[in-house]
Amino acid sequence: MKTSPTHAILLISGLATLWQFADQKAAISLLAVHGVSHDDIWAQPWRFFTTALLHGGILHFVFNALWAVRLGIPFESRYGNWSSLLFLLLVTPFSVLCTVLFGNATIGLSGWGFGLGGWMLVARRFDHRLQHAVSDESMGTLVVWFGLGFVLSWLRVLPIDNVAHTAGGTAGALGALWTYRSEWKQSRSMGKRRKAWKRAMNAEPSQSPDPLSVALRERDLVSVQPAFENPDVVKHTPVDLWDQWTEELITHGDEKNAQRTLSVAIALASPSDRHMRLMRMANLQMRSGDMGAAIHSLDQVNAAQLRTDERELYDALRKRLS
């Protein structure tokens, strides 16, 4: 599917809005949910989608179009056009249905736009490509506008359909949470392990503390040297803590020692959790010019067990090494 669903639906909505301006009565009577009784509307289900094609004015359409492009295009790039179209066809009627049941009859694509926003709020936590494609500033602006909608409605400044916004945003967030459920469970598990480790580190020891654990806590590269030679001596320590130390070393530009701490994390991790760490090691080794070691690290990755986004990273590393 080569045509962008986002661009296509905005074109259709623009034409429908122009028709609405030319003959409002005809457009409303055929496409909108306005003035249609609850009994009749179930016999005309297309209205749950087509009412979103209409808008209350040029600014209303432009506002929705800008957010659709800002969030819809990254969605398409990440998940594909068919997934984008399915998202549109599910979230838009759902937001309109909620408005029909719990609010006032509505027009406009904002339910879809806030659905994309809800998706991005969740998905960006687990997907690094979306973090780059959609900025924190964009998400912050959308959240502010969501809250502002309630204020403007309460002050009767603008007739904003907060029910559609809330329904769309909730549907998008729940959809992303389901899609990234394994990553979410993993992040919760990692968070619990980090808290447990911090409690253990801050607790008063009942006996003399393990010197290697103290060295790890204090980031003492010299004293933790035995772990680099034999990771089994620190197998009682959480692998997440070695990952954190690796991150800190990379942040400070010490990639040589980052490779050493990462090697311990790889040794301590379960086989199913080593793939991303091995690919990260290959990337560090490649940046240091050690192509042979990078190839060796990448050869240890079981590509068949990688998720789609992980496989793309793996293929990119292979291409660079070739």
pLDDT at 205: 45
Selection from 88, 249, 233 nearest residue 171 by Cα: 88
Strand locations in the chain (E) = none
For residues 43 and 165, state if they share a domain. Answer: yes
For residues 177 and 228, state if they share a domain. Answer: no
CATH number of the domain at 256, please: 1.25.40.10
pLDDT along the chain (322 residues), means of 10: 83 93 89 79 88 89 92 92 93 91 82 94 85 87 90 84 91 92 68 52 50 71 76 78 84 85 87 86 89 89 83 87 80
Residue 141's contacts (CB-CB under 8 Å, 6 or more residues apart) are none
The backbone region for 36, taken as left when phi is positive above 0, alpha when psi lies in -120 to 50, beta otherwise, is beta
How many structural domains comprise the chain?
2
In angstroms, rounded to a whole number, what is the distance separating the alpha carbons of residues 212 and 236? 10
For residues 227 and 154, state if they share a domain. Answer: no
CATH number of the domain at 147, please: 1.20.1540.10
For residues 13 and 135, state if they share a domain. Answer: yes
How many other C-beta atoms lie within 10 A of the C-beta of residue 322? 6
Phi, psi (5° rounding) for residue 254?
-95, 70
For residues 148 and 14, state if they share a domain. Answer: yes
Residue 91's contacts (CB-CB under 8 Å, 6 or more residues apart) are 111, 112, 115, 168, 171, 172, 175
Decide: pTM greater than 0.75: no
pLDDT at 66: 92
Q: Residue 225 belongs to what domain range?
A: 208-321
For residues 67 and 178, state if they share a domain. Answer: yes
pLDDT at 200: 46
